Structure 1
Amino acid sequence: MSPDLPDDTARAAGAWLAHLAAERRLSPKTVEAYARDLRQFLAFLGTHLDAPPTLAALRCLTPLNLRAFLAARRREGIGSRSLMRQLAALRSFAKHLERGGEASASAFAAVRSPKVARGLPKPLTAAAARAAANPDSRAGEEKEPWILLRDAAVLALLYGSGLRIGEALSLTRAAAPVGGADSVTVTGKGGKTRTVPVLPQVARAIADYIAACPYHLPAEGPLFVGARGGALSPRIVQLAMQHLRGALGLPDTATPHALRHSFATHLLGRGGDLRAIQELLGHASLSTTQVYTKVDATRLLAAYDAAHPRA
């Protein structure tokens, strides 16, 4: 946290962040985001109240103070989704203080979360998803062959196993689903692990990349490496997908994460069980997975409108 904070607030903030990491087992990136959210709020309070944001000041907060903060963030161009996450972080901090008898969380509970318009996921067609995972789709690029094989292997994992990009890039060489392996275990959000199947063609794509990679891949080192041998950045995979959008004429919604959406939508369209898809995706709540039923219904209606003679 900021060294300018009052000692009591800095101590409480540090204890809260340690609780998030150790007891709630949130990922380091989530803890970092929550710390940033709290820093921004406390910096605002210092100016808004014209006084240091001590624990005594936090005990006197009203819903009006919180709404002023959200309004200020809104004027800075922050969207509803980010504001909702920031408010969730502040509520968590307030509840932590309340459990320790240092403040009340009532002011935070009295403020409504911003409404977020949830759009439907935009999957690719099965043909486009398969093409994205084919290294031949980028044959015209001036890239080393092993890099094209690497990118194709990552994208094949996203579509073939429904992984998040961070899950795929966190795999170690020892965890690579090759040599007859038909599944892979990944660590998802909240540190939860799950085992997902790996199709033979995906395993072959990974094996082809490993065989072509010019770097030694230690067992506990990253499976996917960058051009200089370090861990592969998600940004590189996003750029690869950007090139594919141009090469294959795909829409702007064709991102690496759209391959995960495609995995779920195509499974559901072929009669996959919703609960099983939830497990494969690593969703904590079935309601998160149910959004794909709306996607499938939308696709069916679009096909009906395009093909039915009386539509």
Structure 2
Amino acid sequence: MAHAALSPACADQLETWLTHLRALDDSPASTLSAYQRDVAGFLGFLARHDGGLASPARLRRITQSDMRAWMAAERRRGLGARSLARALSAVKSFFRWVGERDGFEPTAVLAARSPKYQRKLPRPLAEDAALEMIAQVELQAADSWIAARDVAVVTLLYGCGLRISEALGLTGAAAPLPEVLTIRGKGDKERIVPVLPAARTAVDTYLRLSPHPLEKDGPLFRGKRGGQLNPRVIAKVMEQARMQLGLPSSATPHAMRHSFATHLLAAGGDLRAIQELLGHASLSTTQAYTAVDATRLLEVYNAAHPKA
């Protein structure tokens, strides 16, 4: 991939870093594309700022002034705080790798402070709305096997708290679904997820009706022509069901995972146990994910604290 604003050596560094990430982290193509775009954008700014090509030698001389100028330029062109924070994270990751490889400390880059932004809290569905969504999804397809497939996927999202990528990443080897599934999630982290009888039944029904043979190494959920099911198909089905039910635009596949966590907590589930079920590295992420409010935290505190 050519980068007009970069010297050949600098462009090679960027491509080598991306190759390194592919091999090390098995990162999704969309993530790598965002990293490439963010870092190339920074290096392109540096070239314009200097009036010449960005080079490995120039990377060693990055200053705090350079970083401030880049961040100011990004804000002027309309980049939001959240997007700028993401871009800065990618730039730091790139420079950390380059510094370790080439033997220098990119202090100015690593010391740059990320812009603050208001974290967008997820919007889970109410319990009855989540169940209505599953029922409505079944009515969207004319083919009974496709309707059963869509119900099975959405039931897994809500019943097990899976990400859509995790549900669609299951292979035929997972069938029939056991009482407990081992899921490999973000960062290649494994977690154990209990499978509700309703989810097992939904998947069994889909497999019984599916015209495609079940292959251990093939996808569990198949598209109309037999290939791997595209997540956009499920998003579209839920969009149709959402409009028919009068639910907000936030009623997406990911909202079913939010709803799983929030409803577990509301029923008295332990926050750390829910953290494990979701595969979150940080408890604060789970707290935001489950729409925990101060009242609920106070209830947990009063019920559990020995001095309460």
The whole-number CA distance in structure 2 between the counterparts of 1:79 and 1:282 is: 28
CA shift, 1:19, in A, is: 3.5
2:161 corresponds to? 162
The aligned counterpart of 1:205 is 202
* Structure-2 separation of matches of 1:238 and 1:142: 14
Partner of 2:126: 125
Tell me what 1:232 maps to.
Answer: 229
CA apart distance, 1:297: 4.8
After superposing the two structures, state which structure 1 stretch, 161-170 or 241-250, moved more.
241-250
Q: 1:76 to 1:221 in 2, by over 3 A?
A: farther
CA contact (8 A) 2:138 2:148 kept: no
Summarize the Cα distance change of 1:40–1:177 in structure 2 as closer, same or farther, 3 Å threshold. Answer: farther
Question: Do the aligned partners of 2:137 and 2:238 also contact (CA within 8 Å) in 1?
Answer: no
Which residue among 256, 264, 277 is the counterpart of 2:253? 256
CA distance in 1, matches of 2:31, 2:70: 21
Report how far residue 282 of structure 1 moved: 0.3
The TM-score with structure 1 as length reference comes to 0.86
Q: What amino acid does structure 1 have at the position aligned with 2:2?
A: S
Which residue of 2 is the match for residue 150 of structure 1?
149
CA distance in 1, matches of 2:142, 2:51: 56
Q: Does the Cα contact within 8 Å between 2:258 and 2:290 map onto a contact in 1?
A: no
Structure 1 residues 251 and 89, CA, compared in 2 at 3 Å: closer, same or farther? same
- The one-letter code sitting in structure 2 at the alignment partner of 1:263 is F
Q: Which runs of 5+ in 1 are unaligned?
A: 302-311
Identity %: 50
Note the alpha carbon deviations across 1:243-266, whole angstroms, 9 max, x for none: 111121211211111111111111
Displacement of 1:188 in angstroms is 0.7
Q: 1:286: Cα distance to partner?
A: 1.5
Unaligned runs of 5+ in 2: 299-308
Secondary structure of the residue aligned to 1:201 is helix
Number of the residue aligned with 2:284 = 287
Call closer, same or farther: CA 1:9–1:116 in 2, change over 3 Å: same
- 8 Å contact 2:157–2:253 — kept in the other structure? yes
Q: Aligned match of 2:263 in 263, 266, 270?
A: 266
* Aligned residue number for residue 57 of structure 1: 58
Q: Aligned equivalents of 1:218 and 1:79: distance in 2?
A: 45
- Tell me the number of residue pairs that the alignment of Structure 1 and Structure 2 aligns: 297
Rounded Cα–Cα distance in structure 2 between residues aligned with 1:210 and 1:298 = 44
- On the 8 A contact 2:3/2:40 being kept in 1, the answer is no
Change in Cα spacing, 1:202 to 1:297, as seen in structure 2 (3 Å) is: farther
Aligned alpha-carbon RMSD (Å): 2.4
The 1:6–1:188 alpha-carbon spacing in structure 2 relative to 1, beyond 3 Å, is same
